[in-house]
A and B are shown apart, each in its own frame.
Chain A
Amino acid sequence: MTETVITIPQLSLVLLVGPSGSGKSSFGRKHFLKTEVISSDYCRGLVSDDENDQVATKDAFEVLNFIAGKRLAAGKLTVIDATNVQPEARRPLIDLARKHHVIPVAIVLNVPREVCLARNETRPDRNFGKGVVWGQAEALRRSIKGLKKEGFGHVTVLDATEIDTVRIERQPLWPDKRDVTGPFDLIGDIHGCFDELEALMVKLGYVIEGRTPFRVTHPEGRKLVFVGDLVDRGPKTPEVLRIVMDMVADGRAFCVAGNHDDKLRKALQGRDVKIAHGLAESLEQLSFETPEFRQRVIRFLDGLISHYVFDGGKLAVSHAGLKEHYIGRGSPRIRSFAMFGETTGEIDAFGLPVRYNWARDYRGDTMLVYGHTPVPEPEWLNRTINLDTGCVFGGKLTALRYPEKEIVQVDAARVYCEPVRPIGYGQDARDADVLDIDDVAGKRIVETELARNIVIREENAMAALEVMSRFAVDPRLLIYLPPTMSPPETSGFDGWLEHPAEAFDYYRKQGVATVVAEEKHMGSRAVVVLGRDADVVSRRFGTAEAGLGTVYTRTGRAFFADKTMEQAFLARLAKAMETAGLWDHLASDWVCLDTEIMPWSAKAMALIEQQYAPVGAAAAHVLPLAAELLARAGQAGMAEKMAERAGMVSAYRDAYRRYCWDVKGVGDYRVAPFHVLAHEGGFNLDRDHLWHLEMIDRLCAADPGFVTTTRRQVIDLSDAAQVAAATRWWEDETAAGMEGMVVKPMGFTIKGQKGVIQPGVKCRGREYLRIIYGPEYTAPENLSRLKARNVGAKRSLAQREYALGYEALKRFVAKEPLYRVHEAVFGVLALESEPADPRL
């Protein structure tokens, strides 16, 4: 028996066509996955409990269409097991395939009607009359000829003998070059500028060995990808075609179709096209070539496809861009979009149609490289980049190295053609700033490098949306939010709630050899985004209104209510950076610092006035009085207890008073930076703490009256003497008023077996904790109960928040689009609204 091979596109909508009893279901079972086949009978059953209930047909097909639509949207091949014998039954399915830009395929089971009838007779559930099958067979007979015309991309008619010998082969779609991984050099619109192309190729390291034909190699085996518009306007269109055709033929280059290339093809094929926009030059230049060459050009241009997908789906290339859900699919609409883009229907001041800015709405993970619209400089927008820098208009010819993301350019030798509208016209620099509610709202899953997928619950996102939009600073400046921090497990020592022993234990168990214990300052946490000057901030952060930057709290609010104070604070810090030589040392003109700003009272005054001070005032007044009254009543024991309580209250008042002083000007603030989070080209959460402390010490030295040092101990956890010394240091300093310390793994971000380990564990002083657990928490009857606390939930929260903050900062440093940074920062804020014991 010879095999009949049917080739179908990997992604297609396959209609099995044949009367009842023609064997569609068995055919489907044999050649496709169970889940790939949707049967109308099954859908009938779903809506009516009876697979043969014809009354349910309308509802059943709605269900069938819905499921098929979902599968196609997800890029899954789908098979429709229904009779599909009437054109009106096939029409909606063809439309559905078009809507999802997949190819409709018809496989006809052309079985004699007698066979169908005989089969149905053996099926007691199929008691519909002979006439039905007869009618179906008749409808099929009339349909077969016109199937191609109806819009099917592939039609196979199988007769009874062929059905059993079929093998189905799935073919990758044309654009699918996922297995080609590069490295690539992608080249923007050339428009006949051969000299510039050659210069650029040389600059990129290509060696042109022969010229007839062109033999081009690259020592590293790099490949060229052209974004189309090879032709028109420029002086040497035939030369450009020649080198590109030769390289494509050699398998050393890929090229997608540009609108000019397509129009030139039509003109050469003798079709009636308007000779404009530089087409005349191409035709004239080609008229000096041989007819054979012109034929070759026609064949080449005719074979160009709309777009390519490379490197496992990480890179896509088209001439005028693509929408995310078009990538890797094929349809006339996609081809048209890939070559021309879309217009909004409006006409601009130069009488040209206004282009729809699809890149602004692009949210795909695939890097998308395109050209078509000349721009002054290539700029990233939502993982897309336009390489058309108007070489033929006297601009530049641009290449993008992939995966390096490096731009290589050569200047045009001269202006070959004047543009109709100025280059860059209508391009809105602020487009990159547009955030969509869909970027943050609802239940979301944020992919992170450190902790994989982090789930943001809808109600948390709702709370965060309100805080973000009512109180937070400009999202363009909000590039990081610090995670919450967990304390150690409760201390095993009597009379202590927290003690360094458990913090050291935690890291020892995680396999960390060296930790640094840093002084925990008692002020307010603040993230500082600082530029060397206002221009830098405007350029790098895209906001001209931020001056030198901003300072914000752990929930993203502006730290300073007074803008003038904020700018004065930043100016002083910028000066310290200058004096310390850190701008030059970091080779950056902006920096993001993790800091604590003192005094506590500067930010927490409302809290102090409404909560801390009133508690102290009332307690300090009433407890001694109670003691006195009890003594007078002869209750000496109870009087003594009240006196003890009064003592604890007095310790409590001392504890918070240390952190309060009046602030009139910038000079009254103290800032203690402890992490140099990021700077241009520098993502520093993977650098060890010694590096951070070294940078910070230099900053402190530059303005010691303003920038406060962070005292620290470096501890080898296997050295008992070092551990003991650090413990003593903590005991002494906290007794003298230090809030506490934060123990951190020296390497900053450490991945353990269960995800990232805590980047810090705080260990707070005994006296300080009165502010947290209440003035009298040290009373034995209170402490014994407070010791029953669980840090598990807090640790999990800290881990997730850290992963999101890390992600946000890393994305910002890598110049990812604003929405990508914002999604992660927003996630931190949303997680913060989860209920957690605020004392931990």
Chain B
Amino acid sequence: MLLTISTTHAPATDLGYLLHKNPQRLHSQTLSFGTAHVFYPDARNDLCTAALMLEIDPVGLVRKKGPNEGFALEQYVNDRPYVASSFLSVALGQVFRTAMSGRSKDRQDLADSAVPYEIHLPALPSRGGEGLLARLFGPLGYEVTATRLALDEAFPAWGGSACYDVRLRITARLGDVLRHLYVLIPVLDADKHYWVGDDEVEKLLQKGEGWLDSHPERELVARRYLKNLRGLAEVVMERLSDGEAVPDPVRQDGQEETLEKAINLNRQRMEWVVAALKRLGAKSVVDMGCGEGRLLGLLSKDLEFEKITGCDVSVRALEIARARLNFDRLPEFQQQRIQLLQSALTYRDKRLAGYDAATVIEVVEHLEPERLDAFARAVFEHAKPLHAIVTTPNAEYNALFPNLPAGKFRHPDHRFEWTRAEFEAWADSVAERFGYTVTFEAVGTVHETLGAATQAAIFTKGDKQ
């Protein structure tokens, strides 16, 4: 809500000419989300400070919801009225429009000259910490001083907040400084860019002209701007979240992916599954817990598989799977081969019965251990595929991931990770109980003592030969 620009370049009060705001007066301007005020706490020959203060209307903010904003409590108890955010950028663009364009009616020379400025942003959220502040402002020639605000001084154990009291020093043209701020404030704030108007992205890129192209972090800048698009499903999930972080079934796979990426595990795993299915001669396959549909994508390209069904409990995952498969534009014969449906593997579901093979790839570890019984019954007693392929991480192998602390799981939503002995004991008991035989395979490079990253069980209906 607050930003000050100071200069000591005498006569310092000429800052008023550059900003087109008389230092002797209070300037107020009504904006769509509140009121912007410009005033000068210091207006001396040796020091002039202009302050831009926003009074954001918290009630109006909520009533004017953006297209993708749901009804979440966070909007009411909200830091927007107090921090520097995209609202401040918008205000900068409107209140200092001419200054930002580098023009000055009375002091064009000064506008064209590099002059020393100090910018004070007393509450600037930086999701990425001090490091990000330095990475964004450093390459542009700013000297950055930042002090992190405590979350609550009454509770020192809570640590620091995402907000910094930031001072930036630079000798530059004022127009450039304003355009840097216009772009970088919301980039730092990242997560919470509130949609003000559809054309904001457009405007933002204009403001980056001339400096963003050569900025080493230009990709990060662009990415953070596109981050605020949320699906409807996500909004609904939030309502049922109890205020707890909901591990996103899709996006958070990121962590696991990063860990496993080095060894290219996911691709290896999927290719292994397809090969195993072919070996079993499966014509109809149901992928239980299909997620965003990676396996379905591979299977759909192979006409040997005549019927392919993907099911997942996450509506959002299914939406993504549908999009990835480009389902709505598939030719009719493909659409008839493939179907996606919402199901939960702890409920019996007759739609999942009658397949040659069921694949349960990296799914069991997402179930609470006490639900494994219901899961086993749903798959092996009710769906009763001829074959079932179940894969799960091999916990022993975790020791080989350099970035995974001991005792931690590969994914925040994993409820357990099994050693080979644990997995095999479970699989054997399931096979015995439901009349299947089971064999085990290692997927990925095998470590001498720790085994492979992924362990797999292949179940086949019927008695032991």
Contacts and interface: CB of A to CB of B under 8 A. Distances in A.
Given A557-B242, A635-B39, A618 B154 contact: no
Given A440-B347, A785-B59, A633 B41 contact: yes
Interface in A335-359: none
Given A463-B237, A621-B149, A469 B347 contact: yes
10 smallest CB-CB distances across A and B, nearest first, come from A469-B344, A632-B41, A613-B151, A618-B82, A437-B349, A618-B123, A619-B82, A633-B39, A629-B41, A437-B347
Contact of B240 (A555, A653, A772): A555
A553 interface: yes
Interface in B190-210: none
A662 interface: yes
B163 interface: yes
B439 interface: no
Contacts of B150: 617
A629 B313 contact: no
Contacts of B300: none
Given A633-B41, A782-B59, A614 B244 contact: no
A441 B351 CA distance: 13
Interface stretch (A93-101, A168-176, A388-396, A603-611): A603-611
Given A435-B347, A832-B240, A543 B370 contact: yes
Contacts of A771: 77
B315 A614 contact: no
Contact of B344 (A468, A553, A614, A621): A468
B243 A622 contact: no
20 contacts: A430-B377, A433-B374, A435-B347, A466-B237, A469-B347, A470-B313, A555-B241, A610-B74, A614-B79, A614-B161, A617-B149, A617-B152, A618-B125, A622-B2, A626-B2, A632-B42, A776-B58, A777-B58, A785-B59, A838-B73
B152 A434 contact: no
Nearest to B243: A607
Interface string A195-233: 000000000000000000000000000000000000000
A554 interface: yes
A616 interface: yes
B149 A545 contact: no
A604 B59 CA distance: 24
A107 interface: no
A642 B241 CA distance: 35
A434 B4 CA distance: 65
Contacts of B249: 470
Contacts of B382: 434
A832 B123 CA distance: 36
Interface of B: 1-2, 4, 26, 37, 39-42, 49, 51, 53, 58-59, 70-74, 76-79, 81-83, 122-123, 125, 149-152, 154-155, 157-158, 161-163, 165, 233, 236-237, 239-246, 249, 313-315, 342-351, 366, 368-371, 373-374, 377, 382, 413
A618 B149 contact: yes
B343 A437 contact: yes
B215 to A, nearest CB: 27
A614 B162 contact: yes
Contact of B158 (A441, A613, A619, A635): A613
Contact of B79 (A473, A615, A629): A615
Given A546-B370, A617-B150, A469 B345 contact: yes
Contacts of B374: 433-435
Nearest to B315: A462
Nearest to A611: B74
A426 to B, nearest CB: 13
A474 interface: yes
Interface in A422-441: 430, 433-441
A474 B370 contact: yes
A829 B240 contact: yes
Interface string A815-829: 000000000000001
Interface in A395-451: 430, 433-441
Given A463-B237, A630-B39, 15 more contacts: A435-B374, A437-B347, A437-B349, A439-B347, A466-B315, A469-B371, A474-B370, A617-B150, A618-B125, A621-B149, A622-B82, A629-B49, A633-B26, A635-B26, A774-B76
B242 A629 contact: no
A653 B342 CA distance: 44
A114 B345 CA distance: 67
Nearest to A465: B344
Contact of A436 (B152, B240, B347): B347
A298 interface: no
B342 A617 contact: no
Nearest to B53: A626
A629 B39 CA distance: 9
Interface in A552-596: 553-555, 557
A610 to B, nearest CB: 8
A625 B313 CA distance: 50
Interface string A457-483: 001001111111111011000000000
A440 B239 CA distance: 19
> Chain B CB within 10 Å — which of A466, A616, A625, A662 has the most?
A466
Contacts of A554: 242
A629 B42 CA distance: 9
Contacts of A773: 76-77
Given A613-B158, A617-B149, A623 B82 contact: yes
A839 interface: yes
A545 B163 contact: no
Contact of A465 (B2, B162, B165, B313): B313
